[in-house]
């Protein structure tokens, strides 16, 4: 009986989803490092207009609040511990190789990317999608790409060209036109790292992105399908201050012979040279101020982290504003910290026929719920994930005919 009920509930959800997404197009933009309160601190008329006419919310990233883990969470609805991109860098235990953004071989190895990214969920259900540099989209996950995709390492388009490309894709003849377009921009992350979050230079970067997004908005508004477009602008994580005075160097505490390697920085993933050294590493670092230290598998549940097969033997997370790394850092801003710290939270704006108008959500939502939201907008059935449409149902306009 339970099974029959489950079948009808699934069917009803699928029908509702198909009804919602039948005739609309969704554009989702990620602004790397788009801290939620940049729009309060800086002059951002377009983001303010989106808030007045559409939905304004604050999104909590997943832990760790890093670029690769979170973009791939937005794409799959899985937390990093479950999709496998557990850091910008980590060891692949089966092969002994290192996953890294700058290592083309491991970065583009589909074996490292678990879950079902939205562009594949869509493709399987007959919905065309396009990606412009979204993390994971230039990797042949399960042997496939989005219908239209770009290689981050080749022919890197300028920010303006990415907007041209999104508009071009939405101007294709109906049969070729993608219903989902995902676009990635490196700013304001780069400025936030170099200068710190609330600075003149980061202000300039955010205000520039605001006017660039305004151009995107105007160009989408001039398309014949304008009234059918849902536009989401969000990002992967926030940014906070760091300082040369608050840095701890890992090897000032550890013996060389204990450590095989230290990967990532927030959190630092320490792989022991031999299992017998795990306790030495753990017990030594437990005495150090300004960091939290766990053995793999022993992290607190709210971080949703620490069980993946490629996890370091010991996981070290610096307190917010502190650095624990192999080398000193020059940056004045960074991220990767505990995702419940508000400096790591992300701005979210959405406008279009499937969103409420002039609605500000009072509480943060988790970024794992973006995937089911996109599935709803596209009218497709989501694969199992860690998020839920229920969490964000208050922002949706269900009354649209
Ligand atoms: P983070 O160190 O977490 O701030 O990472 C930000 C960096 O990720 C940016 O400098 C981007 O150049 C890089 N990045 C973003 N998307 C990709 C991608 N698809 N492939 C390689 N690197 C990327
Ligand atoms: Zn980022
Ligand atoms: Zn960054």
- What digits encode the pLDDT tens for the residues 45-62? 999 999 999 999 999 999
Instruction: Give the model's confidence band at 5: pLDDT under 50 very low, under 70 low, under 90 confident, else very high.
Output: very low
CB of 131 shorter than 6 A to ligand 1: no
pLDDT for the residue numbered 155: 81
pLDDT tens for residues 315-328?
999 999 999 999 99
Name the pTM for this structure: 0.94
CB of 65 shorter than 6 A to ligand 1: no
CATH match of 244-331 with 3.30.1360.180 = yes
Residue with CA nearest ligand 1 atom 3? 67
pLDDT tens for residues 268-279?
999 999 999 999
Residue with CA nearest ligand 1 atom 1? 67
pLDDT tens for residues 151-168?
999 989 999 999 999 999
Q: Which CATH code for domain 2-78+115-241+338-395?
A: 3.40.720.10
Angle of CA points 392, 395, 396, to nearest 5°: 95
Q: Is 177 exposed, middle or buried (0-12, 13-18, 19+ CB in 10 A)?
A: middle
Q: What is the dihedral of CA 389, 340, 252, 311, to 10 degrees?
A: -20
The CA 8 to ligand 1 mean position distance, Å, reads: 42
Angle of CA points 165, 171, 177, to nearest 5°: 95
Q: Which two tokens stand for residue 4?
A: 């029959």
Instruction: Give the model's confidence band at 22: pLDDT under 50 very low, under 70 low, under 90 confident, else very high.
Output: low
pLDDT tens for residues 241-265?
999 999 999 999 999 999 999 999 9
Residue 344 reports pLDDT greater than 50: yes
Residue with CA nearest ligand 1 atom 22? 101
Question: Which atom of ligand 1 sits closest to the CA of residue 136?
Answer: 19
Residue 371 reports pLDDT greater than 50: yes
The CA 157 to ligand 1 mean position distance, Å, reads: 15
Residue 2 reports pLDDT greater than 60: no
Ligand nearest to the CA of 32: 2
DSSP structure string for 1-62: -HHHHHHHHHHHHHHHHHHHHTT-EEEEEEETT-BTTHHHHS--HHHHHHHHHSEEEEEE-P
Query: For residues 134 and 167, is the Cβ–Cβ distance under 8 A?
Result: no
The CA 234 to ligand 2 mean position distance, Å, reads: 11
pLDDT for the residue numbered 359: 98
CB of 152 shorter than 6 A to ligand 1: yes
Instruction: Give the model's confidence band at 9: pLDDT under 50 very low, under 70 low, under 90 confident, else very high.
Output: very low
Ligand nearest to the CA of 333: 3
CB of 118 shorter than 6 A to ligand 1: no
Query: 3-state class of 118 per DSSP?
Result: helix
N residues, the chain = 401
Residue 85 reports pLDDT greater than 60: yes
Q: What is residue 397's DSSP assignment?
A: -
In whole angstroms, give the CA distance from residue 2 to residue 201: 58
The CA 100 to ligand 3 mean position distance, Å, reads: 14
Q: CB neighbours of 231 closer than 8 A, spacing ≥ 6?
A: 26, 27, 29, 50, 54, 216, 217, 220, 350, 351, 352
Residue 8 reports pLDDT greater than 60: no
Query: For residues 37 and 401, is the Cβ–Cβ distance under 8 A?
Result: no
Q: Which of 29, 32, 193 to mutate to test the pocket of ligand 1 (most atoms within 8 A of CB)?
A: 32
* Structural domain boundaries in the chain: 2-78+115-241+338-395, 244-331
Question: Which atom of ligand 1 sits closest to the CA of residue 236?
Answer: 3
Q: Give CA separation, 226 vs 18, 40, 231, 349, 354, in Å.
A: 20, 28, 10, 17, 13
Residue 387 reports pLDDT greater than 70: yes
Question: Which atom of ligand 1 sits closest to the CA of residue 193?
Answer: 4
């Amino acid at each position: 009986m339970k099974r029959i009920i489950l079948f009808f509930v699934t069917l009803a959800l699928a029908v509702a989803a198909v009804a919602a997404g039948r005739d609309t197009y969704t554009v989702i933009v990620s602004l790397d490092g788009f801290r939620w309160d940049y729009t309060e601190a800086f002059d951002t008329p377009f983001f303010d207009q989106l808030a007045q006419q559409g939905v304004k919310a604050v999104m909590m990233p997943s832990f760790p609040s890093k670029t690769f883990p979170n973009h791939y969470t937005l794409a799959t609805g899985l937390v990093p511990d479950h999709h496998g991109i557990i850091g910008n860098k980590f060891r692949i235990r089966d092969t002994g190789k290192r996953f890294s953004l700058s290592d083309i071989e491991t970065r583009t190895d589909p074996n490292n990317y678990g879950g079902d990214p939205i562009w594949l969920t869509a493709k399987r259900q007959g919905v065309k999608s396009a990606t412009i540099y979204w993390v994971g989209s230039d990797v042949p996950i399960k042997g496939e790409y989005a219908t239209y995709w770009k290689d981050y390492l080749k022919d890197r388009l300028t920010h303006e060209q990415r907007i041209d490309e999104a508009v071009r894709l939405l101007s294709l003849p109906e049969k070729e036109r993608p219903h989902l377009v995902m676009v990635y921009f490196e700013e304001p992350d780069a400025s936030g790292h170099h200068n710190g979050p609330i600075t003149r230079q980061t202000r300039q970067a955010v205000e520039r992105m605001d006017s660039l997004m305004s151009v995107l908005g105007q160009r989408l508004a001039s398309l014949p399908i304008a009234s059918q477009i849902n536009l989401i602008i969000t990002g992967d994580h926030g940014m906070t201050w760091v300082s040369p005075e608050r840095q701890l160097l890992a090897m000032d505490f550890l013996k060389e012979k204990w450590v095989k390697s230290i990967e990532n920085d927030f959190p630092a993933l320490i792989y022991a040279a031999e299992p017998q050294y795990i306790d030495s590493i753990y017990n030594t670092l437990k005495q150090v101020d300004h960091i939290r230290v766990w053995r793999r598998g022993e992290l607190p549940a709210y971080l949703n982290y620490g069980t993946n097969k490629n996890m370091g033997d010991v996981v070290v997370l610096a307190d917010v504003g502190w650095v624990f790394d192999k080398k000193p850092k020059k940056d004045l801003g960074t991220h990767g910290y505990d995702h419940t710290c508000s400096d790591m939270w992300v701005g979210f704006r959405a406008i279009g026929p499937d969103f409420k108008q002039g609605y500000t959500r009072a509480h943060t939502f988790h970024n794992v719920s973006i995937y089911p939201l996109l599935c709803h907008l596209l009218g497709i059935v989501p694969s199992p994930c860690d998020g839920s449409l229920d969490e964000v149902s208050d922002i949706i306009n269900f009354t649209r005919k």
